[in-house]
Structure 1
Amino acid sequence: MNTTRAIIVSAFSLTWFIPAMSQQTELSPPVVSVEGGAVRGRMVDGVESFKAIPYAAPPLGDLRWRAPQPAIAWRGTRDGSAFGHDCMQRTNSVFAKGTAEPREDCLFVNVFRLRDRAPGPIPVMVYIHGGGFTQGGSSPIVYDGSELTRHGVIVVTLNYRLGRFGFFAHPALAAEHAEEPKGNYGFLDQIAALKWVKRNISAFGGDPNNITIFGQSAGAASVVAMLASPLSEGLFQKAIIQSGPYRRISGRRLTVPSGREVPLEAYGRAFARSMQIDGSDQTALAKLRALPAEALADLNPLPPLPNDDAPLGGWGGPVLDGKVLPIVDPDYFSTGRFHRVPIMIGANTDDAPIAVKSGDPYAKFGPLSAQAELAYDPNQTGNHDSVSHKITMDAIMLEPARYIADAFSSAGVPVYEYRFGYLTEGLAERWAAGAPHGAELAYIFDNLTRYYGPVASPRDYRVAKSMSSYWTNFAKTGDPNGPGLAQWPSYNRERDEILQFHADGSIDAGPDPLKQRLDLTKKAADR
């Protein structure tokens, strides 16, 4: 199964969250000076937030499909009390839908800090949202950094271009600004935002030399891209990867086929033809840039599979462009092409709600199919749908998490692997198969009150406090352990230990209980 497709489909099944706003009190607004001018934030319950700060110029007109350009300075004091636009998209997902209206003018960061903060530089956590690279933004309630910053960190959230705005190629673009990277404009946005944080976070009291990036789903894939990209070197010191496609970000190239992968330019040409735009000169490019944003926004989150012959309905997705993402086979981790920073990595216990169904789910294991049948269906139920579900989850989430953990550990880098299986008490009956894709987010952000409201239980709050403490401890020191928390050992291949957040709220570390399945999955992937 195509990894990106599986991740995206599973991300859009998240319709079980119940957002709820808490009562808050507001005090006098703070003002901070950054590149471009002064920003007036908002003070609520002891947390200062500065929203909609431009980190790059609006990518409009001739800047559509350009590397992000410097932000435009403003006069006076900019209002930072509300989110700016999320990036342009069409969404049918409750999970991805934010509180801000999508527009092309969307390249903003948001900063959360405590009013009564500790003296000295404060560790910084920069979150990259998910949504299949076509949906989402920094404005959904679950990503509010107010509670996480109470753990002694500064939280930054950001927007980046999505869909055809963020990942697009066309022959006319190749001849323009030849020195600039092409195709991965969404990743270039993320790099520009990290550079902005590096240059400006000290104005908020943050430590520019202690930055942790973290993300979930497509945001986790973005973290992987940042770990692999030479353009992001030195912009962060630690990374957290939550439920993302790890082994291979993309196999697609810009202009030439790669195996069965259609090049990204083919999608651009097909889209242009669908808009009655022919040719590859500047006239064609001008017509493409003159299209209204709504014409480019794609509700379909699925990049075509490698064997799709005509990519008329797709937008292509991330690409191995040679600059943002070097062309490395078979992957960055087996070849050691990654930034050596401490990482936390993991996935959830039901992290692939949509499985690929087939007549024989064990066929991919080849001569190991009999062993796979014993591992995945030990009671011989013959339920191929359930087996396919588990096989898909292991292939796109659980085994790749261990794979990258092993690569970093083997390189001498501290690694901490987790698996999240906690079931929110009020929703546990809906999650019979385990914790689904994205279920950890409200716990990591310690946002149960905002997100679940009265559904959240005392046990839920205890788990959230533990998770957010692990995450922020890691951001501070590179080690998630701390007082009152179950000991989380660093990963190594021999022990194969992970930290588990169990369905009943208990937390402990030990050997991976799915080792047999994951060993078989690795052998199948390496065939």
Structure 2
Amino acid sequence: MATMLFRMAMAAICAVVLGWSGAAEARAADTVRVDGGLIAGAAADGVRTFFGVPYAAPPVGDLRWRAPQPVKPWDGVRSATAFSPVCRQTAPWITEPQSEDCLYLNIWAPAAPSSAKRPVMVWIHGGGFFGGSGSQALYDGTRLARRDVIVVTLNYRLGVLGFFSHPDLTAESPDHVSGNQGILDQIAALRWIHDNIAAVGGDPDRVTIMGESAGGESVAILVASPLAKGLFQRAISESGNYGLPLDPAEARQFDKTEAEAAGAAFARAEGASGIAALRALPADQLLRAAWSPRTVVEGHLLREDLTTLYRTGRQNRVPILVGWNADEGKDLAPEIFATSQFTAERHAALLEGLLHRTPSAAMLAKYPARTDAEARASIDQFTTDYWGWRIWFWARLQAAGASDKAYVYHFVHSPTEPLEPCGYGCKAGHGAEIRYVFDQLQQDARPWGADDRLLADQIAGYWTNFAKSGDPNGAGLPRWTPFDGSDRTIHRLGTPAEAVERGPVDFDVFEP
């Protein structure tokens, strides 16, 4: 079900490659020393940048599918003024050059000197664990860096190269596990940040991880994993929640034995006798084969499923800021249900297949399907609410702890319509909040209104405040109350009229 993690057709929401527009005007930045050697970036408009910085050894050859290894040192000064290739993938919206040698990160830091170390915000991209990159245009950290924070984006291995289990891999691993390579890459990047970010003025003890969709699910995993303990102090997850199994049927998709069996079957289908033969195959051949990337509860990165870890309070104890968008269902329904045939006849069976139980009369009344048109509209709303309920479920587990606060948002704003027809992420759709988080409205040539600009300023303010203190509140911002399980503590991100129109939410029909 990993492919259900949202085929983020980011081309439809402006996730194009960031051709660094300021390169011609940028001047050389100070050279700094990091693991591996000296790097030199650039500086322009009050922001220093370091792009394409290696945080691990290239995972190629014998290192394909192994846990990330330390950076290989280089001689002289390494230029850090251009993005690296992105990780090999099958995502159609990514047009950047690709390579298996892709474990690099990018940094935006204020150029102005500071007597205090600055908080660090680490963005983990989405894309269903099969696509995306840290250099997509929407993730340009320039405007956030001007709010006195340091922004880091990163690449991590994807698809069959980043989420692959096999008995041979388990046998050769010193930890006797396999899979989750992409998440281990994220941890390696966080460890690099912890050890090196002070070189550009960052505070290694004030790191916030944040991500959307599969990046948001990555955040949930990192908060739960003992391997990430101490590498960050706050966590933001946007529309990422599928990693929390809510029943035994869901938990099976994360099973180590099933994952290894799937990997062995993949090898046989490719005519490979074992992992050595698979490593000898070109990446192009591996990527042409069908593969559904998924994370695995393998006893190392994850010792138990996320729901059990959060319910028993064995996650890393950090405050979280989490939420979902009001129109995600239309984007996510085809992936979640693995079909686009949402008819009245199939309606109840589709709900039962997803929930692993017969839908109640109250649920069928709330999401009626007397006609095919009504069934389609109900599926869209059901999917949005189901997504929100899973976020609410996670936050409720967090809020039950004695000291770790949760802040929950509901993004209800319908952005100004694009100049061309919108195909994905429309209105408050999947990923619609990202341009507001990074305060990057100007990347999209829409006739943005005052409501859009105000909301972008507010959301960027909330997110950076949270990174600085663990509390999103600050001067000039509407008060955001910590989540206590009630609707009144879900913070609506939108105009007052939109907040009234889209709320309150009622998740009672989803309770088992």
Structure-1-length-normalised TM-score? 0.85
Q: Which residue of 2 aligns with 1:308?
A: none
**Which residue of 1 is the match for residue 253 of structure 2?**
252
CA contact (8 A) 2:212 2:239 kept: yes
**Equivalent in the alignment of 1:294:** 284
Cα distance in 2 for partners of 1:58, 1:381 equals 51
Is residue 314 of structure 2 the alignment partner of residue 337 of structure 1? yes
Matched letter for residue 226 of structure 1: L
Structure 1 residue 360: deviation in Å?
Answer: 5.4
Q: Give a deviation string over 1:175-198, Cα, whole Å, max 9, x none.
A: 213336421111111111111111
Contact 2:210 2:236 in 1 (8 A): yes
- Name the aligned partner's letter for residue 169 of structure 2: L
**Equivalence for 1:411:** 401
User: In structure 2, what is the equivalent of residue 31 of structure 1?
Assistant: 31
Q: Which residue of the partner structure matches residue 435 of structure 1? A: 428
Closer/same/farther in 2, CA of residues 319 and 432 from structure 1, 3 Å limit: closer
Kindly tell me: are residues 201 and 22 of structure 1, through their superposed partners in 2, closer, same or farther at Cα, counting changes over 3 Å?
closer
Contact 1:142/1:447 (<8 A) preserved: yes
Q: CA deviation at 1:252?
A: 3.3
Q: Distance in 2 between matches of 1:461 and 1:71?
A: 41
Q: Per the alignment, in what secondary structure is the counterpart of residue 425 of structure 1?
A: coil
Range 132-141 or range 269-278, more displaced = 269-278
**Equivalent residues in 2 for 1:41-190 (5 A)?**
41-93=41-93, 97=94, 100-179=96-175, 181-190=177-186
The 2-side partners of 1:245 and 1:56 are apart by: 28
| Identity %, equivalent residues | 37
Q: Distance in 1 between matches of 2:366 and 2:503?
A: 12
Is this contact kept in 1: 2:417–2:446, CA < 8 A? Answer: no
- CA drift of 1:21 comes to 7.2
Residues 314-373 of structure 1: CA distance to partner in whole angstroms, max 9, x if unpaired? Answer: 244211111111133854323333122111000111112242436354564878733224
Say whether residues 1:446 and 2:443 are aligned partners.
Answer: no
Pick closer, same or farther for the CA change 1:497–1:439 going to 2, 3 Å. Answer: same
Distance in 2 between the 1:59 and 1:248 partners?
29
- The CA deviation at 1:393 is 2.3
The code of the aligned residue for 1:323 comes to: H
| Equivalent of 2:5 in 4, 7, 21 | 7
Give the unaligned 5+ runs of structure 1.
257-262, 279-283, 299-311
DSSP-derived class of the 2:451 partner: helix
Q: CA deviation at 1:173?
A: 1.8
Say if 2:269 is the partner of 1:274: yes
Give the Cα–Cα distance (whole angstroms) in 2 for the partners of residues 415 and 202 of structure 1.
Answer: 28
Structure 1 pair 22/320, CA: closer, same or farther in 2 (3 Å)? closer
| Structure 1 residues 243-302: Cα deviation after superposition (integer angstroms, max 9, x where no partner) | 01256266435653xxxxxx1122222222222113xxxxx322211111112225xxxx
Call closer, same or farther: CA 1:286–1:43 in 2, change over 3 Å.
same
Is the 8 Å Cα contact of residues 66 and 181 (structure 2) preserved in structure 1? yes
Q: Tell me which residue corresponds to 1:490.
A: 482
Q: CA deviation at 1:484?
A: 1.2
1:414-469 CA-to-partner distances (Å, cap 9, x unmatched) read 111001122221339848974110111111011122x2145434432221111101
Alignment CA distance shift 1:433-1:84 (3 Å)? closer
Match of 1:425 in 2: 416
2:426, 2:432 within 8 Å by CA — same for their partners in 1?
no
Equivalent residue, structure 1, for 2:248: none
How much is the aligned-residue C-alpha RMSD, in angstroms?
2.8
Q: Please tell me whether the aligned partners of residues 412 and 498 of structure 2 are also in contact (alpha carbons under 8 angstroms).
A: no
Amino acid at match of 2:127: G
Residue 371 of structure 1 corresponds to 362
> 1:498 deviation in Å?
1.1
Is the CA contact 2:487–2:505 (under 8 Å) kept in the aligned structure 1? no
Contact 1:160 1:166 in 2 (8 A): yes
**1:304 counterpart residue number:** none
In the TM superposition, residue 221 of structure 1 has moved relative to its aligned partner by 0.7
1:203 counterpart residue number: 199
Report the Cα offset of residue 30 of structure 1. Answer: 2.5
Contact 1:361 1:384 survives alignment (8 Å): yes
Checking the alignment, whether the CA contact within 8 Å between 2:406 and 2:482 is kept in structure 1 is yes
Q: Whole-Å Cα distance in 2 between the matches of residues 477 and 134 of structure 1?
A: 33
CA contact 1:18–1:452 (8 Å) conserved in 2: no
Q: Cα distance, 1:68 vs. partner?
A: 0.7
Residues 18/212 of structure 1: CA separation in 2 closer, same or farther (3 Å cut): closer
Matched, 1:264 2:254: no
Match for residue 213 of structure 1 among 190, 206, 209: 209
Distance 1:423-1:21 versus aligned 2 partners, 3 A rule:
farther
Instruction: Please tell me whether residue 327 in structure 1 is matched to residue 328 in structure 2.
Output: no
Distance 1:30 1:379, change over 3 A: farther
Greater shift, 172-181 or 229-238, is seen at: 172-181
Letter in 2 for 1:294: D
- Residues 463-502 of structure 1 mapped to structure 2, 5 A cutoff: 463-494=455-486, 496-502=488-494
Paired residues of 1:85 and 1:105 also in contact (CA < 8 A): yes
Question: What is the alpha-carbon distance in structure 1 between the residues aligned to residue 176 and residue 500 of structure 2?
Answer: 47
Query: How much does 1:220 deviate?
Result: 0.5
